[in-house]
C-alpha cells in the first residue's frame, strides 16, 4: 500500500506558555508556537470544553505563523476543569481580548472549528478590527435547531449510539435529555456528574468521523476530556450559547468585509452542512469548501488538507480565493 502522507505540518512544541488569571476563579492555559516574529494566528478549540491537542499546532507553517492557542474556561489545562460557573460567550470573548492584549498583538487570523467556529464568529463580530480573516470548520451557529439536532437528530444516523446515550437516563426523564443530563452534569456529586460526562462525550466521540474511530471514543471518555466537554457543552446548549437566537447570522455584516474560508464535511452528522451553507449565503465573499468524504473531525484527511491549504493561501496571498 502507498504511504499515507499527512497534510499537517510536523509536530512542534511551544516556545512560551503560561496561565492567565481571569475573573470567577478561572485560570487560562495559553501557549505560543512557531515564529515569535511571524503573522499572529489564534486557534480556538471546539466543544465547548474539548481543550487543546498537540495536533492543533500543526495546521500552520511554523516558519511563518506566530501560533497562539489557549484552553478556554473549564477546558484542558485551564482550571478549574469542567467549571461552568462564570463561563459564558461574552466572558470567553473578553478572555481572547485579554490574551491579545497580554501578547501585544494588534491583529490576527482567527481559526476555529465546531464550537470554535461559533466563538470565532462571535469574537469577530464583537472585535472586527482585531481580525485579519477567518478559517472556519464544521459550522455551528448555536441555534435551537442545531441544539435539538445534536440531542435528538443524530439518532437518524447513529441509532445504536443514541440508544446508549438515552439509556443512561431513567425512562421517565428521556422526553428531555438535555435537561436530564444537565441536572446530573451540574451536580456537585462526582457519582452523578462523572458518569453523565462520560456518556455525553462517548455519544459525541462515536459520531465524529465518517468512519468511526475507536481511539476517538476512548479519548473522549477520559475524565480530563469528558468532564469539560460534557459539562460545558450542556451548559452552553441550555443557555443558547449566551447569545440571541441566530445572532451570528444577524450580525454577519460586522465581519463580511473580511476574508474567510469555510471547510465543511459533507457527512458531518454533529454539525450538518446546512449551517455552513447558511453562513456562506449570508457572507457571499466567503469561500465554502465542502469535503465530499468527511464527517465532523478536523483530522479527517480531506478536511485537514483543506484547512492547511487555507492557512497557506492566506500566508502566500493575504487573501482567500
Residue 281: the pLDDT is: 98
Note whether 138 and 200 are same-domain residues: no
Residue 29 counted as domain residue = yes
49 has pLDDT over 80? yes
Residue 10 counted as domain residue = no
63 has pLDDT over 70? yes
pLDDT tens column, 163-177? 999 999 999 999 999
6 has pLDDT over 90? no
Residue range 165-190: mean pLDDT, rounded = 97
Q: What is the domain count for the chain?
A: 2
Q: Could you list the residue range(s) of the whole structural domain that residue 203 is in?
A: 144-241
From the list 26, 78, 114, 275, the catalytic residue is 114
Residue 212: the pLDDT is: 80
- Using pLDDT thresholds of 50, 70 and 90, give the confidence band for residue 3: very low
Among residues 241, 273, 293, the one where a domain terminates is: 241
Q: How many CB atoms lie within 10 A of CB 321?
A: 7
Among residues 190, 223, 241, the one where a domain terminates is: 241
Residue 193, class by beta-carbon neighbours within 10 Å (0-12 exposed, 13-18 middle, 19+ buried)? buried
Note whether 155 and 198 are same-domain residues: yes
Note whether 122 and 180 are same-domain residues: no
Note whether 71 and 37 are same-domain residues: yes
Note whether 222 and 89 are same-domain residues: no
Residue range 209-234: mean pLDDT, rounded = 91
2 has pLDDT over 50? no
100 has pLDDT over 60? yes
Note whether 35 and 138 are same-domain residues: yes
From the list 56, 268, 275, 286, the catalytic residue is 268
CA nearest to 96, candidates 66, 72, 113: 72
Please state which of the ranges 32-36, 127-131, 316-320 shows the lowest mean pLDDT: 316-320
Note whether 133 and 256 are same-domain residues: yes
Report DSSP state, residue 46: S
**CA torsion angle 54 302 226 175 (round to 10):** 160
pLDDT tens column, 225-250? 999 999 999 999 999 999 999 999 99
Averaged pLDDT of the chain: 95
Note whether 36 and 77 are same-domain residues: yes
Residue 35 counted as domain residue = yes
Note whether 92 and 68 are same-domain residues: yes
Residue 1: the pLDDT is: 38
315 has pLDDT over 60? yes
> How many H helices and E strands in the chain?
11, 8
pLDDT tens column, 253-273? 999 999 999 999 999 999 999
Q: Annotated catalytic, 114?
A: yes
Helix, strand, or coil (residue 290): strand
Residue 190 counted as domain residue = yes
Residue 157: the pLDDT is: 97
Note whether 58 and 183 are same-domain residues: no
Residue 318: the pLDDT is: 60
37 has pLDDT over 80? yes
Whole-angstrom distance, CA of residue 302 vs CA of residue 295:
10
Residue 9 counted as domain residue = no
Question: For the chain, what is the radius of gyration of the CA atoms?
Answer: 19
Q: Annotated catalytic, 189?
A: no
From the list 56, 235, 280, 296, the catalytic residue is 296
CATH number at residue 312: 3.40.50.1820
Residue range 220-228: mean pLDDT, rounded = 92
Residue range 312-321: mean pLDDT, rounded = 72
320 has pLDDT over 60? no
Q: Annotated catalytic, 296?
A: yes
- Using pLDDT thresholds of 50, 70 and 90, give the confidence band for residue 317: low
Note whether 119 and 248 are same-domain residues: yes
Among residues 208, 241, 274, the one where a domain terminates is: 241
Residue 48 counted as domain residue = yes
321 has pLDDT over 80? no
- Using pLDDT thresholds of 50, 70 and 90, give the confidence band for residue 215: confident
42 has pLDDT over 90? yes
Share of the chain above pLDDT 90, in %: 92
Note whether 169 and 267 are same-domain residues: no
Residue 4 counted as domain residue = no
Whole-angstrom distance, CA of residue 296 vs CA of residue 268:
4
Residue range 112-137: mean pLDDT, rounded = 98
Residue 5 counted as domain residue = no
316 has pLDDT over 80? no
Residue range 28-45: mean pLDDT, rounded = 98
Amino acid at each position: 500500500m502507498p504511504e499515507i502522507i499527512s497534510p499537517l505540518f510536523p509536530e512542534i512544541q511551544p516556545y512560551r506558555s503560561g496561565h492567565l488569571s481571569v475573573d470567577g476563579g478561572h485560570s487560562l492555559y495559553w501557549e505560543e508556537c512557531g515564529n515569535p516574529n511571524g503573522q499572529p494566528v489564534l486557534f480556538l478549540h471546539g466543544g465547548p470544553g474539548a481543550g487543546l491537542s498537540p495536533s492543533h499546532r500543526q495546521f500552520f507553517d511554523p516558519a511563518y505563523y506566530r501560533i497562539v492557542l489557549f484552553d478556554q474556561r473549564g477546558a484542558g489545562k485551564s482550571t478549574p476543569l469542567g467549571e461552568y460557573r462564570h463561563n459564558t460567550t461574552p466572558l470567553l470573548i473578553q478572555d481572547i481580548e485579554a490574551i491579545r492584549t497580554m501578547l501585544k498583538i494588534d491583529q490576527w487570523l482567527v481559526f476555529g472549528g465546531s464550537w470554535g467556529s461559533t466563538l470565532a464568529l462571535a469574537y469577530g463580530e464583537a472585535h472586527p478590527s482585531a481580525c485579519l480573516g477567518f478559517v472556519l470548520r464544521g459550522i455551528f451557529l448555536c441555534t435551537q435547531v442545531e441544539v435539538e439536532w445534536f440531542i435528538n437528530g443524530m439518532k437518524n444516523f447513529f441509532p445504536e449510539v443514541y440508544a446508549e446515550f438515552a439509556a443512561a437516563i431513567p425512562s421517565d426523564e428521556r422526553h428531555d435529555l438535555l435537561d436530564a443530563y444537565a441536572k446530573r452534569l451540574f451536580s456537585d456529586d462526582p457519582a452523578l456528574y462523572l458518569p453523565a460526562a462520560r456518556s455525553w462525550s462517548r455519544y459525541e466521540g462515536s459520531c465524529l468521523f465518517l468512519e468511526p474511530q475507536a481511539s476517538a471514543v476512548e479519548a473522549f471518555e477520559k475524565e480530563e476530556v469528558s468532564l469539560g466537554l460534557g459539562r460545558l457543552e450542556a451548559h452552553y446548549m441550555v443557555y443558547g450559547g449566551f447569545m440571541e437566537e441566530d445572532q451570528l447570522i444577524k450580525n454577519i455584516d460586522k465581519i463580511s468585509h473580511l476574508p474567510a474560508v469555510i471547510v465543511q464535511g459533507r457527512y458531518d452528522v454533529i454539525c450538518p452542512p446546512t449551517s455552513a451553507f447558511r453562513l456562506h449565503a449570508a457572507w457571499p465573499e466567503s469561500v465554502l469548501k465542502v469535503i465530499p468524504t468527511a464527517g465532523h473531525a478536523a483530522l479527517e484527511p480531506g478536511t485537514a488538507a483543506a484547512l492547511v491549504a487555507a492557512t497557506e493561501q492566506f500566508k502566500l496571498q493575504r487573501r482567500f480565493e
